[in-house]
A and B are shown apart, each in its own frame.
Chain A
Amino acid sequence: MAATMVSSAGGLLAMLNESHPLLKQQALQNLNNYVDQFWPEISTSVTIIESLYEDEEFDQNQRQLAALLVSKVFYYLGELNDSLSYALGAGSLFDVSEDSDYVHTLLAKAIDEYASLKTKAIESSADAESIDPRLEAIVERMLDKCIADGKYQQAMGIAIECRRLDKLEEAITRSDNVHGTLSYCIGVSHCFINRREYRCEVLSLLVNVYQKLPSPDYLSICQCLMFLDEPEGVASILEKLLRSDNKDDALLAFQIAFDLVENEHQAFLLNVRDRLPTPKSQPLESANPRSAEPVSGETEPSTASEDVPMAEGASVSSTSAPEIDKSEETYSERLTKIKGILSGETSIQLTLQFLYSHNKSDLLILKAIKQSVEMRNSVCHSATIYSNAIMHAGTTVDTFLRENLDWLSRATNWAKFSATAGLGVIHRGHLQQGRSLMAPYLPQGGAGGGGSPYSEGGALYALGLIHANHGEGIKQFLRDSLRSTNVEVIQHGACLGLGLAALGTADEDIYDDIKSVLYTDSAVAGEAAGIGMGLLMVGTASEKASEMLAYAHETQHEKIIRGLALGIALTVYGREEEADTLIEQMTRDQDPILRYGGMYALALAYGGTANNKAIRQLLHFAVSDVSDDVRRTAVLALGFVMYSEPEQTPRIVSLLSESYNPHVRYGAALAVGISCAGTGLSEAISLLEPLTSDVVDFVRQGALIAMAMVMVQMNEASDSRVGTFRRQLEKIILDKHEDTMSKMGAILASGILDAGGRNVTIRLLSKTKHDKITAVVGLAVFSQFWYWYPLIYFISLSFSATAFIGLNYDLKVPKFDFISNAKPSLFEYPKPTIVPTTTSAVKLPTAVLSTSAKATKARAKKDAEQKANTEKAAAAGEPSTSTNSGKGKSTEKDGDSMQVDTPPEKKAEPEPSFELVTNPARVVPSQEKYIKFMEDSRYVPVKLAPSGFVLLRDLKPTEPEVLSLTDAPSSTNATRAAAAAGLGAGGQQAMAVDDEPQPPQPFEYTS
């Protein structure tokens, strides 16, 4: 047959011109068969075929055939639009199930076309009738086919894209694995739906579907409801679960609550909490664990036994209530717990305990920095203080400050402000005792107290940082402080503190308070007021924005305008297209500072959406604005828009990072730092590497900080460049001739690199792929440190502990093991630095015998060990005194890491390919995929999550549990403070003279 292939379609084409219709038909049919081969020839006569299609007298079927033929020819010619319109004319002859390039391409085209028409129709709110019914028919045929073939994901994708919610529902309900498809659909709706409104529609549909299922997946429903901002739904689900007799349901409810908390949506959480009925049990029951003792985790283990609800319920009800009340009892007890979780206190406290007990910060690094930094250089001096705060964020370990009180006393004025505020970062989340910790610095009511306004302002700011996003308890105090002062520095601190504590609550009264500060038109206070208002109104898109904008036009102070600009930007957080008018207004403003705010508004409104329009706009400003500030911010803002797709960012900004304009380069560095934070992405590191040795000092600064953000929590085993970077930092810090700017960057970078005792990472997305509002806001304000160094502390908001914390029904941490299926060295803590030997500065090539090298190494190691030991003994208090498993384990770990230091020939046995880790454990993001639960374990997680808070189902509830993480930092804090009291005595005298930050007063603690 092959020998007699036709060589030309000329004959058939000629046949088309025959007058007899039968001949034309014959020709069409044959041409249709041969079009794949002869389309170039046919294309010249396509007009004839077109006219056949339009010929009314021609047989209907033949006309469709002609249309199909023309469509194919146009397809080959690359004229997809024409091709599509003729394919539509072909009607049923266009077979969607045909497996050819032509059909695939046209289907894709048809769906695109349909989707864009639908979108346009909806956006312009015109009726959808204008859409060609034939097009609709094709798309529906395709959808039906997908569903029939079991390709549900495809069907869902198309349905979502085409806004056919009816079809979406059909696809989901008909799929064989409804839960799987639903969770897939949630993922898709977050990644690919650009319009917020529509996403809400899809999600509410999903919730509907979920609720119709026989066994609803409450975890996912609640996530959806959170996005939809429907606290009632969540509350009713939680209530239902709590009412259940089954303990597992209660566990599930707790898990839901923890997952919601992780998204840090304070206003929503408070709403949910308020909608839950108040536990109406005996005052003894409800009040006891919450108010009587400052740390609920402290005494409960002693009183609460295994079966808390049963045991306690029995003891109480036997005296006062009848039997029926038993379930009510359980219920109210559960309610108390869940309210605790929803308020964030439980998770914050557990995180705090974890960070404290697992603190692995390396004081030697700080010491080295301190020694190398010149005393007179105040920038580097305060940078060191910042760095210390970041390094110990959330760990409550302020040893370094205590040990260096003299050195600390060099901080004056604003440096003192930030030194005090640093305490807030260190004690972040220490909700119960935050106030008492800061008490010595806080403004004393009435009497004036005689404290420096700087430390007082700093203390208020610190309180805000401690209570960031969980400011229920402290709001009132901050408000009072704000109202009772007219010192602008204190106002500054109070505004920031209030904004942080009441983040996103949109509290009118607080707003008015801050507004009155703003209207005093004082530059210092006004700036903070602007930011504070924004923080308060985060994501509300309220009318207040225009009020703020109006004032920004009115005032003369650049600082106030800048604060307001950022504040306005914060109000539109996550509102996507709703914010467009405001963004437009700001980006067209005459004032570059407002345009700069517009960039932030774009960044925050479209944060994490990777929205094309926003990216385009930002890129446009990045290259066309006349003001360097605006350009820098525009590039930086790209980082925020892209943080959900960190792999893309280096590619997008790579050109900008080679710009001639240093501001643009700086922005590019930070954009990569923000969007790739904590990922350790290789491309990001490669992009930043050249920038760390840029010719301009501030670009170096930005690149160093960004690099640290990217590499946070990585060790040398996973990427050798981490080691190189650490050495580079060290070199910059030690170099006497380095510019201050880059030195400061290096100091900050060392802090970020080892942030939070190395147990935190920067994470802008929660595990359920929602934005973490606090984190994003924190980074946004942090990036403002260009103008105002104290704002550096906002980075602590973006830290989240990388831990697996398993909890039992009592919300305690039982001891149990699970497996990390990877080499331990891959994810272990970075090795502790060796005591810097002064001789190491001499770089003479001396011949050293291998034996002596070993000897020195061993000696150095011993030194380090001793050093570390003495340090621990002096500072942290003997861990063994608190006698608990968590601490004991960490000392064991110490031993391990020491052993790693020993010369390689000594450890002959190969490294194990897995390790056993004990709850609660540090699980770094890249480690998550290796986490496995043991099958024969006593505890089974309610939800298979490799990190975060996970509720555990106890399979052997009768056996006694071994608990860990019972050491609240407060307890040891007390002993430590007592121990440090003597040490601090010397410093206190010095303080009396120049009124320096004092160590917290040893407070009375009775338990």
Chain B
Amino acid sequence: MDPKLTEVSQYFERFKAACVREDIDTSANLLSQLKVSLTSFRSLPPLFEVTPNSVQELTIARDIYEHAVLLSVKMGDQDAFERDFFQLKPYYTDARKRLPPSPQEHMILGLNLLRLLVQNRIAEFHTELELLPAESLEDPCIKHAVELEQSFMEGAYNRVLTAKQTVPNQSYDYFMDLLAKTVRDEISGCSEKAYDYLSINDARQMLLFSSDNELLQYINEEHPEWEIKDGSVVFQKAKETAPCKEIPSLQLINQTLSYARELERIV
């Protein structure tokens, strides 16, 4: 076996151990070293050179990135998640023909979908979905994300929140928590548009808070522009509605006609 590969796999073992220990700092350091050493493998994307060890190399690289993704979930670092996921992705798509499929694949893809949902990047969510083969959609992890999205779109926010109980994997919890917040943001955005004001009670129910305090705290943090007045929340809608400009249609028509007339005259 290639000495480099051995070295990498040793490091990888240490990295896995650190992950299990939940020793975030060590594992992050190890990961970074691993990534650097991966760059010397020429069989990895995007080069895909065929070397005797290419299958092993690809496999170990994929494993490393899968762990990196999971680590980033643990760290709650969405940027790192995105980064690692994108680097992992070629192993799923482009290297599909050279490697046995990974057992983690669907779980990670599902996680990514969830992340997109949380970040409210619906377009990308659907793009990712379209890229998946039909049989993957049957996978519980993917299905979970898809259902969530549907409920989210329908506005059945309560279903979204209850889905938290049925997560297929515990690493989903992180995103499910975040999702609750996304849902709340969505609701508050809607209410802002829909109502001039709401009683605190209604608002609490609407925003799915269990207590008024939570509500007030939320308003302070997220929407300082809302006013609390006489037991109701006043949305400053009037401020926003800037008078939309009227199109000076008559003037435009006149101008166009005169241009046309002059053009006629010139040529």
Contact = CB atoms under 8 A, between A and B. Distances in A.
Q: Do A and B come from one complex?
A: yes
Most B CB contacts (10 A, CB to CB) among A10, A655, A660 go to A10
Contact of A14 (B36, B84, B97, B266): B84
Nearest to B93: A7
Interface string B111-131: 000000000000000000000
22 contacts: A1-B48, A4-B94, A4-B97, A5-B48, A6-B46, A6-B94, A7-B90, A9-B46, A10-B86, A10-B89, A11-B89, A12-B46, A14-B87, A15-B87, A17-B79, A17-B83, A19-B32, A20-B32, A22-B36, A30-B47, A623-B266, A660-B267
A5 B98 CA distance: 12
A23 to B, nearest CB: 6
A992 interface: no
A14 B83 contact: yes
Given A18-B35, A623-B267, 20 more contacts: A1-B48, A4-B95, A6-B48, A7-B90, A8-B90, A11-B87, A12-B46, A13-B86, A14-B82, A14-B84, A14-B87, A18-B32, A19-B32, A22-B36, A22-B39, A23-B35, A30-B46, A30-B47, A34-B46, A655-B267
B140 interface: no
Contacts of B95: 4
Nearest to A623: B266
A9 B93 CA distance: 12
Interface in A644-664: 655, 658-660
B45 interface: yes
Interface in A888-933: none
A4 B46 CA distance: 9
A631 B88 CA distance: 71
Given A7-B94, A14-B83, A23 B39 contact: yes
Q: Which 9 A-B pairs have the closest CB atoms?
A: A14-B86, A4-B48, A6-B46, A14-B83, A26-B39, A10-B86, A11-B87, A623-B266, A11-B90
Contacts of B48: 1, 4-6
Nearest to B91: A11
Contacts of B39: 22-23, 26
Contact of A11 (B46, B79, B97, B265): B46
Chief secondary structure at chain B's binding surface? helix
Nearest to B37: A22
Most A CB contacts (10 A, CB to CB) among B79, B82, B86 go to B86
Contacts of A34: 46
Interface residues of B, number: 26
B98 to A, nearest CB: 7
A667 to B, nearest CB: 14
B94 A624 contact: no
A3 interface: yes
A14 B93 CA distance: 16
Nearest to A12: B46
Please tell me the size bucket of the interface on A: 20 to 34
B35 A11 contact: no
A1 B48 CA distance: 8
Nearest to A21: B36
A660 B266 CA distance: 8
Contacts of B89: 8, 10-11
Contacts of A15: 83, 87
Interface string B71-107: 0000000010011111111100111011000000000
A33 to B, nearest CB: 8
Interface in B23-61: 32, 35-36, 39, 45-48
B47 to A, nearest CB: 8
B45 A23 contact: no
Interface of A: 1, 3-15, 17-20, 22-23, 26, 30, 33-34, 623-624, 655, 658-660
B36 A11 contact: no
Contacts of A19: 32
A937 B82 CA distance: 87
Nearest to B84: A14
B109 to A, nearest CB: 14
A18 B34 CA distance: 13
A4 B50 CA distance: 10
Contacts of B93: 7-8
Contacts of B82: 14
B86 A20 contact: no
Contacts of B32: 18-20
A230 B95 CA distance: 76
Contacts of A658: 267
A17 B79 CA distance: 9
Contact of A6 (B35, B86, B88, B90): B90
Contacts of B35: 18, 20, 23
Given A14-B82, A15-B87, A6 B266 contact: no
A38 to B, nearest CB: 9
A655 B48 CA distance: 60
Given A6-B90, A11-B45, A11-B46, A23 B36 contact: yes
A724 B45 CA distance: 74
Contacts of A660: 265, 267
Contacts of A10: 86, 89-90
Most A CB contacts (10 A, CB to CB) among B35, B85, B265 go to B35
A615 to B, nearest CB: 17
Interface in B226-257: none
Contacts of B36: 20, 22-23
Nearest to A16: B83
Nearest to A33: B46
B162 to A, nearest CB: 34
A659 B48 CA distance: 66
A896 to B, nearest CB: 51
Contacts of A30: 46-47
B69 to A, nearest CB: 11
A6 B86 CA distance: 13
Nearest to B88: A11
A315 to B, nearest CB: 76
Nearest to A30: B46
B73 to A, nearest CB: 16
Contacts of B266: 623-624
B30 to A, nearest CB: 13
B13 to A, nearest CB: 21
B205 to A, nearest CB: 41
Contacts of A11: 45-46, 86-90
A19 B83 CA distance: 11
A322 to B, nearest CB: 80
A19 B72 CA distance: 14
A26 B36 CA distance: 9
A666 B51 CA distance: 79
Nearest to A26: B39
